[in-house]
C-alpha cells in the first residue's frame, strides 16, 4: 500500500513527484474492483430485468446434473420483474413533488442589516402617521392619507416580509442554474441512483467562466468512508473513474499532454495492452487488435491538503484597524503584522492510462466558510443512504430477496403446469390394433383429436391370453389445487414486498368501489409515511447540493455576470450580479419537498375556484395552478393581499373625496338657492310697489274693456302674473 505523503508543507515544495505519490496513494485506497461495486451492478441489472441463471442453480439444478440433462426440461427460469414498477412509481412521485427551495444568507452582518431596514421602515410609519394627522386638521401636506395598522402589527409585517437583498440575488441565481443546467432531469437521474443503489453523486466545476455539472454513477466513484461522513463533500478524498476513447482523452487534456503521452495513448506498449486492471474488468470488454477502439481509464483524484495562510493586520488611510487574508508568498510592509495558520485546501490530479499524471493543482473551486476558512468542501458531493455501522441499503437491495423468491415460485409453477395431466387412462399396449397398421402415435392422435380410440380385442396379452376390455383404469394426475396454492403464494410474496416498503394498492391507483374515500385516503397516507424517509434523506442531500451550486457560481462569476433565463411560467427573467456583494455573501438553502408541502399545495390549488368567485384576476389563478413551489405561491398571495389593501385604501380615499365633493356641491347649491330666493323677494317687493302706484293713477287712464281698471294697469298685471308663474316653475325645477 502506498503511503500518503506529508501534506503540511509549503506550496513551493509540493512538486510533481509529490502530487504523483498522493494520487497513487488515494487510488490504491479506492475499491472499484471489490464485491461492493459488483453488488451495485447486480442492483441495476435487477431493475432492468436481467437474470443471472447461475444465481438460481440451486433450484434449477440441485443435483449438479450435466448441462444436457436440462435441455428438454419442461420449464424455463424467467424474470417476472416486481422491482421496476415500484422504482418507477417513486420516480413518478418525485417528479410530481413541489420543488420548493428557499435561499437564505448566513453572514454575520445579517442582524445589523435587518436592524437598519427595520429602523427605516419605522421611520416611514411615523412619517405617514404625521401626514394622516395633518390632513385631518386641514394642514396641506401634498400626500394622501393611508390607513395604518397598529405599530406592533406593522412591525410584525415588516419582520415577516423582510428579505436580504443578497438572499434575493441568491434565489434568482439558483433559479437560473436550474434552467441553465437542466437540474430537474439531473435530480431525477440522481434519485434513480438513490433508489437502485442507495447512493447518488455529482460533480461541480467551472469552465469558461460558467458552472458545469455532472451526475456521477455510483459504479464510478469511491471515497473515504466513515460513520460520520454523511456527505461526500466532507470526506478527505474521492476518486472518480471515467472510461474514455483516445480521442476523448486528447480533447479533454490537449493542453497538458506531452507528445510522448499522446504517442503512448495511440500506440500502447504491451504493458498497457494487457488488460485494463481489476478496476474495469466488470464493465469493459478488452478490445481486439484494432487499437483505434481502445478505451482508456482516467482517474480523477481530489483530496484535502494543507495550505499556509496569513491574517494581515494593518491601519488604513482613515486610521481604522483592518484585517485581510494573504497567502504564504505575501511580503509584509512596514507597520503590517501577519499571523499564519494552517488550513485545509482541496487539490486535484488525474491519472491516465495507469502512468500518465496531469493537472495536479489546487482545485479552482475552493468552498470555504467565511467564519472558518479552514472548513473546505470537495467539488464532489453525494450521499449514502445508510453506512453507519452496517452495509448500505437501497430500495432494490431490500426487494431483491423477494424478486428471487418470486422467480423461483414462478419456475415451480411452470413445472407444475407442465406436470398437470388431469385424469389419464391406463391400458395395455396390446389393445392397440397394430395388426391394422396402427402405432402408439396414431392411437394417441385419435384419442386427443376425435375423442375416441380403437382397440383390438383379438390381440394376445401376457401369457398368450386374450385381452379383454375391462382392463382399462383411470389415474387422476391433476394438480389444480397445487397450482392454485402457488398462485396465492406468488401474490403473498408480492404483497409482502410492497407492504414492507409502504406501497399499498391504493397508492398504485388500484381502488375498489367498496373502499370508500376515507379508507383510500388513509391507506395512501399510511403508505407514504413508510416511504417518506427515502424522500427526506434525499432532500437533505439536495440542500447541500444547491448550496454547492451557488458557491461554485461565486467562483465562476467573480467578475460579475448579466444573464437571462426562462421561468417555470415561460417568462423571461434577467439577473445582474454585483461581484463585490455576491462574493462576500454566504448562502444556505432549505428544501421543502415533503408530502406535507405537497398536501398544502394541492389544498391551496383547490381554493382557486373560491379565488375566482371573489373576483381574483384570471392571470393570478393561472399562475397559481402552474406553480409547484409552495413558498412562491405564498409570496404571490402576499403580493395579492398587498395589492388588495392598496386597492381598498384607494377606494376609501376615492369615497372620502366623493363625499367631500358631494358636501361641497350641496353647500354651493344651498348658497345659490338662498341668493335666488333673496333676489326673487326683492323683485316681488318692487312689483308690489309698482302695482300700488298704478292703482293710484287708475282714475286718470282709459278703461276700454269697462272692467273698472285702466287698460295699462290690466296689461301690467298680466305681465306680472306671467313673470310670477315663470319664477315658480324655475324654483320647482
For 334-343, write each residue's pLDDT tens digit. Answer: 888 888 889 9
Decide if 190 contacts 202 (C-beta within 8 A). yes
Name the grid cell of 472: 382399462
Which has the closest alpha carbon to 194: 85, 100, 91?
91
- Please give the pLDDT value at position 26: 94
Strand stretches in 263-369, DSSP E: 295-315, 321-327, 337-352, 356-362, 367-368
Gap between the Cα atoms of 29 and 11, Å rounded: 24
pLDDT tens-digit profile of 650-691?
Answer: 777 777 777 777 787 777 778 877 777 777 777 777 777 776
pLDDT tens-digit profile of 528-587?
Answer: 778 888 998 999 999 999 999 999 999 999 888 888 877 766 778 888 888 888 888 888
**Which helix (H) or strand (E) covers residue 575, if one does?**
strand 572-577
Name the grid cell of 99: 420543488
Could you give the maximum distance between any two Cα atoms of the chain, in Å? 184
- Please give the pLDDT value at position 392: 86
Average pLDDT over residues 225-250: 90
Query: If pLDDT is split at 50, 70 and 90, which confidence band does 631 have?
Result: low
First to last CA, the chain: 114
Lowest model confidence (mean pLDDT) among 72-76, 88-92, 587-591: 72-76
Gap between the Cα atoms of 373 and 302, Å rounded: 19
Phi, psi of 306, rounded to the nearest 5 degrees: -120, 145
Residue 193 predicted with pLDDT over 90:
yes
Which has the closest alpha carbon to 454: 445, 443, 465?
443
Gap between the Cα atoms of 349 and 362, Å rounded: 9
Contacts for 440 with CB less than 8 Å, ≥ 6 apart: 429, 432
Range ranked top by mean pLDDT from 248-257, 560-569, 606-615, 648-657 = 248-257
Query: If pLDDT is split at 50, 70 and 90, which confidence band does 459 have?
Result: low
Mean pLDDT of the chain: 80
Within 420-479, residue ranges assigned H as helices are 440-449
- Please give the pLDDT value at position 278: 36
pLDDT tens-digit profile of 390-402?
Answer: 788 899 999 999 9
Gap between the Cα atoms of 636 and 624, Å rounded: 8
- Please give the pLDDT value at position 606: 56
- Please give the pLDDT value at position 674: 79
Within 570-710, residue ranges assigned H as helices are 579-583, 595-606, 608-613, 618-625, 630-696
**DSSP helix/strand/coil, 588:** strand
What are the distances in angstroms from CA 593 to CA 330, 507, 656?
47, 19, 47
Gap between the Cα atoms of 434 and 421, Å rounded: 26
Name the grid cell of 127: 412619517
- Please give the pLDDT value at position 352: 95
High-pLDDT (> 90) share of the chain, %: 30
Average pLDDT over residues 355-379: 88
Position with higher pLDDT, 130 vs 303? 303
DSSP letters of 196-225? HHSEEEEEEEEETTEEEEEEE-GGGEEE--
- Please give the pLDDT value at position 358: 94
Residue 423 predicted with pLDDT over 80:
no
Instruction: Return the ∠ at Cα 551 (arms to 213 and 532), rounded to 5°.
Output: 70
Residue 627 predicted with pLDDT over 70:
no
Name the grid cell of 534: 427515502
Query: If pLDDT is split at 50, 70 and 90, which confidence band does 457 have?
Result: low
- Please give the pLDDT value at position 528: 74
* 666-695 b/e (C-beta count within 10 Å ≥ 16 → b): eeeeeeeeeeeeeeeeeeeeebeeeeeebe
High-pLDDT (> 70) share of the chain, %: 75
Name the grid cell of 701: 287712464
Query: If pLDDT is split at 50, 70 and 90, which confidence band does 217 have?
Result: very high
- Please give the pLDDT value at position 277: 40
Residue 280 predicted with pLDDT over 80:
no
Residue 266 predicted with pLDDT over 50:
yes
Residue 461 predicted with pLDDT over 50:
yes
pLDDT tens-digit profile of 143-171?
Answer: 888 888 888 888 887 777 777 888 889 98
Query: If pLDDT is split at 50, 70 and 90, which confidence band does 279 have?
Result: very low
Gap between the Cα atoms of 54 and 288, Å rounded: 28
Q: What is the DSSP letter of 280?
A: T
Average pLDDT over residues 70-98: 85
* 419-436 b/e (C-beta count within 10 Å ≥ 16 → b): eeeeeeeebeebbbbeee
Residue 69: is it exposed, middle or buried by C-beta count within 10 angstroms (0-12/13-18/19+)? exposed
pLDDT tens-digit profile of 483-511?
Answer: 899 999 999 999 999 988 888 777 777 66
Name the grid cell of 584: 462576500
- Please give the pLDDT value at position 669: 78
Gap between the Cα atoms of 374 and 368, Å rounded: 7
Average pLDDT over residues 272-292: 46
Name the grid cell of 181: 443546467
- Please give the pLDDT value at position 282: 45
Decide if 519 contacts 174 (C-beta within 8 A). no
What are the distances in angstroms from CA 437 to CA 37, 97, 440, 461?
66, 76, 10, 18
- Please give the pLDDT value at position 283: 44
Decide if 653 contacts 144 (C-beta within 8 A). yes
**DSSP helix/strand/coil, 294:** coil
- Please give the pLDDT value at position 287: 45
Residue 188 predicted with pLDDT over 90:
yes
- Please give the pLDDT value at position 276: 44
Gap between the Cα atoms of 227 and 384, Å rounded: 11
- Please give the pLDDT value at position 479: 82
**DSSP helix/strand/coil, 305:** strand
Amino acid at each position: 500500500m502506498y503511503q500518503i505523503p506529508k501534506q503540511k508543507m509549503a506550496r513551493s515544495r509540493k512538486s510533481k513527484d509529490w502530487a504523483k505519490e498522493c494520487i497513487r496513494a488515494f487510488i490504491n485506497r479506492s475499491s472499484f474492483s471489490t464485491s461492493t461495486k459488483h453488488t451495485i451492478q447486480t442492483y441495476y441489472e435487477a431493475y432492468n430485468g436481467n437474470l443471472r441463471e447461475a444465481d438460481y442453480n440451486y433450484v434449477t439444478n440441485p443435483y449438479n446434473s450435466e448441462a444436457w440433462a436440462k435441455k428438454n426440461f419442461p420449464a424455463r427460469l424467467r424474470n417476472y420483474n416486481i422491482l421496476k414498477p415500484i422504482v418507477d412509481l417513486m420516480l413518478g412521485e418525485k417528479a410530481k413533488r413541489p420543488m420548493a427551495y428557499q435561499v437564505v444568507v448566513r453572514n454575520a452582518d445579517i442582524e445589523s442589516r435587518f436592524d437598519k431596514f427595520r429602523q427605516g421602515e419605522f421611520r416611514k410609519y411615523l412619517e405617514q402617521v404625521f401626514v394622516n394627522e395633518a390632513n385631518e386638521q386641514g394642514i396641506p401636506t401634498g400626500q394622501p392619507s393611508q390607513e395604518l395598522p397598529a405599530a406592533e402589527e406593522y412591525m410584525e409585517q415588516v419582520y415577516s416580509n423582510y428579505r436580504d437583498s443578497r438572499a434575493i440575488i441568491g434565489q434568482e441565481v439558483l433559479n437560473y442554474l436550474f434552467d441553465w443546467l437542466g437540474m430537474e432531469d439531473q435530480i431525477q437521474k440522481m434519485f434513480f441512483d438513490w433508489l437502485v443503489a442507495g447512493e447518488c453523486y455529482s460533480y461541480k466545476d467551472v469552465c469558461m467562466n460558467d458552472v458545469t455539472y455532472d451526475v456521477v454513477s455510483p459504479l464510478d466513484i469511491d471515497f473515504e468512508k466513515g460513520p460520520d461522513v454523511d456527505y461526500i463533500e466532507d470526506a478527505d478524498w474521492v476518486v472518480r473513474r471515467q472510461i474514455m476513447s483516445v480521442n476523448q482523452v486528447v480533447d479533454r487534456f490537449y493542453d497538458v499532454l506531452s507528445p510522448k503521452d499522446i504517442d503512448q495513448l495511440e500506440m500502447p506498449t504491451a504493458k498497457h495492452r494487457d488488460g485494463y486492471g481489476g478496476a474495469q474488468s466488470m464493465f469493459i470488454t478488452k478490445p481486439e487488435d484494432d487499437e483505434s477502439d481502445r478505451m482508456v481509464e482516467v482517474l480523477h483524484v481530489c483530496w484535502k491538503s494543507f495550505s499556509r495562510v496569513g491574517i494581515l493586520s494593518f491601519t488604513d488611510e482613515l486610521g481604522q484597524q483592518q484585517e485581510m487574508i494573504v497567502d504564504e508568498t505575501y511580503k509584509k510592509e512596514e507597520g503590517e503584522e501577519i499571523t499564519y495558520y494552517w488550513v485545509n485546501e482541496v487539490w486535484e490530479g488525474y491519472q491516465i492510462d495507469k502512468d500518465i499524471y496531469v493537472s495536479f493543482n489546487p482545485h479552482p473551486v475552493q468552498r470555504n466558510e467565511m467564519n472558518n476558512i479552514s472548513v473546505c468542501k470537495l467539488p464532489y458531493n453525494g450521499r449514502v443512504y445508510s453506512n453507519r455501522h452496517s452495509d448500505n441499503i437501497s430500495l432494490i437491495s431490500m426487494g431483491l430477496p423477494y424478486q428471487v423468491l418470486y422467480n423461483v415460485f414462478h419456475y415451480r409453477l411452470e413445472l407444475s403446469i407442465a406436470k398437470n395431466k388431469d385424469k389419464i387412462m391406463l391400458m395395455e399396449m396390446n389393445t392397440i390394433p397394430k395388426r391394422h397398421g396402427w402405432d402408439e402415435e396414431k392411437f394417441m392422435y385419435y384419442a386427443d383429436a376425435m375423442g375416441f380410440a380403437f382397440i383390438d380385442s383379438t390381440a394376445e396379452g401376457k401369457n398368450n391370453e386374450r385381452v379383454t376390455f375391462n382392463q382399462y383404469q383411470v389415474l387422476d394426475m391433476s394438480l389444480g389445487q397445487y397450482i392454485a396454492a402457488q398462485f396465492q403464494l406468488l401474490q403473498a410474496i408480492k404483497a409482502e414486498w410492497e407492504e414492507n416498503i409502504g406501497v399499498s394498492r391504493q397508492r398504485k391507483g388500484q381502488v375498489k368501489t367498496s373502499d370508500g374515500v376515507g379508507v383510500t385516503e388513509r391507506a395512501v397516507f399510511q403508505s407514504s409515511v413508510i416511504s417518506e424517509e427515502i424522500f427526506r434523506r434525499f432532500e437533505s442531500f439536495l440542500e447541500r447540493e444547491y448550496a454547492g451550486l451557488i458557491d461554485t457560481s461565486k467562483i465562476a462569476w467573480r467578475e460579475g455576470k448579466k444573464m437571462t433565463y426562462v421561468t417555470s411560467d415561460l417568462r423571461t427573467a434577467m439577473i445582474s450580479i454585483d461581484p463585490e456583494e455576491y462574493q462576500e455573501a454566504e448562502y444556505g438553502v432549505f428544501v421543502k419537498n415533503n408530502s406535507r408541502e405537497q398536501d398544502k399545495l394541492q389544498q391551496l390549488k383547490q381554493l382557486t375556484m373560491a379565488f375566482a368567485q371573489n373576483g381574483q384576476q384570471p392571470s393570478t389563478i393561472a399562475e397559481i395552478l402552474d406553480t409547484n413551489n409552495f413558498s412562491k405561491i405564498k409570496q404571490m398571495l402576499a403580493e395579492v393581499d398587498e395589492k388588495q389593501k392598496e386597492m381598498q385604501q384607494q377606494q376609501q380615499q376615492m369615497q372620502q373625496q366623493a363625499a367631500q365633493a358631494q358636501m361641497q356641491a350641496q353647500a354651493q347649491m344651498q348658497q345659490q338657492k338662498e341668493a335666488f330666493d333673496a333676489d326673487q323677494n326683492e323683485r316681488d317687493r318692487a312689483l308690489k310697489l309698482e302695482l300700488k302706484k298704478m292703482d293710484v293713477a287708475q282714475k286718470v287712464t282709459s278703461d276700454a274693456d269697462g272692467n273698472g281698471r285702466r287698460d295699462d294697469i290690466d296689461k301690467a298685471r298680466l305681465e306680472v302674473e306671467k313673470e310670477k308663474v315663470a319664477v315658480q316653475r324655475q324654483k320647482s325645477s
